[in-house]
């Protein structure tokens, strides 16, 4: 795995936040029996993890700005650098005691994503990448899948949650993709879905209605793993559009064609 000072700062911060999330996750099952449910508890766990990440990163890199799920945008004195942080990607999974969620931290330098760390504390899997240094899962270098045919592809997608909208479009896209692919999966964590494309567990992935903290780390990792990414309509900036389509070069292009046919 990459041992640069930057990646060390990022992984140390993530591991600090992970310790509290793992403890809190152990309490979720007991909270399921209460009438109110664990929603407030999970929100507190989310905020606590974000506070831990912010404090660790501020100490190591003072002046960097932040874009955070819970606390929003915090401008730094260093206008060239911003952290994009999701302290708990897969909150609904966490809420239900479903063991699939991650901490995601991406670094933007001069509007370019240059490093990413995604950590799954339940599986103890750390995905890391730094621009020009490759992508790694724990101590193993990873690459995107080499599959070239959609009928052999395992596809990841996101499904809009209650109140978000866009369900009709998703149903059309899902119908178009599912009749062409080997299978479709919806995991509930966009960060992990992108990381899974980077390491070849998924061949392609698409989702709409995302934020920068959902994608920033994953995009840095994916690109270092040889992957291609655009927004779901083929545009060059997934973060600006709030959507993503990604995979290896061939399947990414085919996915865009299928999604376009669904819109037509």
Q: Extract the tokens encoding 202.
A: 């998924």
Report CA dihedral (135, 139, 140, 142) to the nearest 10 degrees: -20
- Number of other CB atoms surrounding residue 5 within 10 Å: 9
Are the CB atoms for 81 and 61 separated by under 8 Å? Answer: yes
120 is in an annotated binding site: no
List the Cα angle 90/108/11 in 5-degree steps.
55
Q: Give the span between the Cα atoms of 254 and 103, in whole angstroms.
A: 30
Q: Give the span between the Cα atoms of 70 and 45, in whole angstroms.
A: 11
DSSP string for residues in 97-126: T-S--EEEEEEEETTEEEEEEEEETTTTEE
Per-residue pLDDT of the chain (264 residues; tens, 9 = 90+): 888 999 999 999 999 999 999 998 988 766 654 444 555 557 788 899 999 999 999 999 999 999 998 889 999 999 999 999 999 999 889 888 899 999 999 999 999 999 999 999 999 999 999 999 999 999 999 999 999 999 999 999 999 877 777 899 999 999 999 999 999 999 999 999 999 999 999 999 999 999 999 999 999 999 999 999 999 999 999 999 999 999 999 999 999 999 999 998
Are the CB atoms for 134 and 7 separated by under 8 Å? Answer: no
Which of 238, 240, 200 lies closest to 219 in space, CA to CA? 238
Instruction: Give the N- to C-terminal CA distance of the chain in Å, as an integer.
Output: 44
Q: Give the span between the Cα atoms of 87 and 70, in whole angstroms.
A: 9
Q: Give the span between the Cα atoms of 88 and 34, in whole angstroms.
A: 22
Give the predicted TM-score (pTM) of the model: 0.95
Dihedral sign for Cα 10, 240, 39, 44, please: positive
46 is in an annotated binding site: no
69 is in an annotated binding site: yes
Q: Are strands 112-120 and 102-109 parallel, antiparallel or unpaired?
A: antiparallel
Outline which parts of the chain fall under CATH 3.30.540.10.
5-141
Q: Please report which helix (H) or strand (E) contains residue 211, including its range.
A: none
Outline which parts of the chain fall under CATH 3.40.190.80.
150-263
Q: Identify the CATH assignment for 5-141 out of 3.40.50.12500, 3.30.540.10, 3.40.228.10, 3.30.70.100.
A: 3.30.540.10
Q: Is 3.10.105.10 the CATH classification of the domain at 150-263?
A: no
Report CA dihedral (26, 29, 32, 34) to the nearest 10 degrees: -70
3-class SS of residue 33 = coil
Cβ neighbours for 58, distance < 8 A, ≥ 6 positions apart: 64
């Amino acid at each position: 795995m990459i041992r640069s000072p930057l990646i060390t700062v990022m992984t140390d911060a993530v591991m600090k936040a992970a310790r509290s999330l793992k403890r809190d996750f152990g309490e979720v099952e007991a909270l399921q029996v209460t009438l109110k449910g664990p929603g407030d508890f999970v929100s507190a766990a989310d905020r606590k993890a974000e506070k831990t990440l912010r404090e660790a990163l501020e100490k190591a890199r003072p002046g960097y700005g932040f874009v955070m799920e819970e606390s929003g945008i915090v401008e730094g004195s260093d206008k060239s650098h911003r952290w994009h942080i999701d302290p708990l990607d897969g909150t609904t999974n966490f809420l239900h005691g479903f063991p699939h969620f991650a901490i995601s931290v991406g670094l933007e330098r001069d509007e370019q994503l240059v490093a990413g760390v995604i950590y799954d504390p339940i599986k103890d899997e750390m995905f890391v990448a730094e621009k020009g240094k490759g992508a790694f899962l724990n101590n193993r270098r990873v690459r995107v899948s080499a599959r070239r045919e959609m009928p052999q592809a395992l596809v990841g997608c996101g499904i809009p949650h209650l109140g978000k909208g866009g369900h009709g479009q998703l149903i059309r896209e899902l119908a178009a993709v599912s009749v062409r692919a080997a299978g479709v999966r919806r995991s509930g964590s966009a960060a992990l879905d992108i990381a899974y494309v980077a390491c070849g567990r998924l061949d392609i992935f698409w989702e709409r209605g995302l934020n920068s903290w959902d994608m920033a780390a994953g995009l840095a990792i994916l690109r270092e793993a040889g992957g291609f990414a655009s927004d779901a309509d083929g545009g060059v900036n997934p973060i600006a559009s709030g959507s993503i389509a990604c995979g290896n070069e061939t399947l990414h292009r085919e996915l865009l064609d299928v999604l376009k046919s669904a819109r037509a």
